[in-house]
Amino acid sequence: MKKTFSNTYIFVYSAVLVVVAALILTVVSVSLKPSQEKNQQAETKQMILKTIGIDATRDNADELYAQNIKESSLNGNDYFTFPGGVIIPLKGTGLWGPIWGYLAFDDGGSVKGAVFDHKGETPGLGGEISSDKFASRFIGKQMCEEPIHLKKNADKDNPYEVDAISGGTMTSNGVTAMLATAYEKYSDVIPCYEDCEAISALMMEEEEQ
């Protein structure tokens, strides 16, 4: 009952199969690319808007982005400004692949909002960095003198510590590394409480004079 197949048949069969599969995937990938890219761009804009508390839908993201966000750059590092603060992009690697995010600072230097996302972290563990619950832990923190780092049982009152994800240690370490890199790049851009103090000290001096 078992059929036998010649070597030639096997070679031709596998070659045809692979070519057909590749063709299907190529055609699909090329034909769907424009709408995929549009979705991705809209998503990036949605993420950036979310850090300053604007919930945009995919349809109005372009418009709201144009109204609220300006793109700037310092020494070739791109960042964004909004009325009342700056937004810095974050890029790094988690356990399984790239992770990224945006961090918005108000003029006072404290974090106004954060968003994170990932390509392939384990759902329910490291993947939790994309949740609102995790992002909200950053609100009110600052990156004035050192980068924010993730820590188990972080001190809520310490402005540089954020609670790490239980079961997602490797991804949490990735987030910490990502924040450190961003701090190196953007420390001149990130507003600082000290600036405010310095400015108010200056103003006091001027008043005294």
In the list 78, 83, 91, 119, the residue contacting other proteins (rule: CB under 8 A) is: 119
Query: Of 78, 123, 184, 201, which one interacts with other proteins (CB under 8 A)?
Result: 123
Q: In the set 64, 125, 170, 180, which binds other proteins (CB under 8 A)?
A: 125
What whole-number distance in Å separates Cα of residue 109 and Cα of residue 160?
12
Closest CA to 181 of 152, 206, 138, 148: 148
| Backbone torsion region of residue 56, taken as left when φ is above 0, otherwise alpha when ψ lies between -120 and 50, otherwise beta | beta
- Cβ-proximal residues to 68 (8 Å cutoff; 6+ apart), any chain: 49, 52, 54, 82, 83
Q: Does 169 bind other proteins (CB under 8 A)?
A: no
Measured CA to CA, the distance from residue 33 to residue 137 in angstroms comes to: 35
- For the chain, the straight-line distance linking the first and the last C-alpha, in angstroms and rounded, comes to 105
Q: Binding to other proteins by residue 170, rule CB under 8 A?
A: no
Give the three-class secondary structure for 136. helix
Asked if 15 interacts with other proteins (CB under 8 A), we say no
User: Of these, 17, 139, 196, 203, which contacts other proteins (CB under 8 A)?
Assistant: 17
Among 167, 199, 202, 203, binds other proteins (CB under 8 A): 167
Binder to other proteins among 15, 36, 67, 70 (CB under 8 A)?
36
Using CB under 8 A as the binding rule, whether residue 21 contacts other proteins is answered as yes
Return residues touching other proteins (CB under 8 A). 2-3, 5, 9-10, 13-14, 17-18, 21, 24-25, 28-29, 32, 35-36, 39, 43, 58, 96, 119-125, 127, 166-167
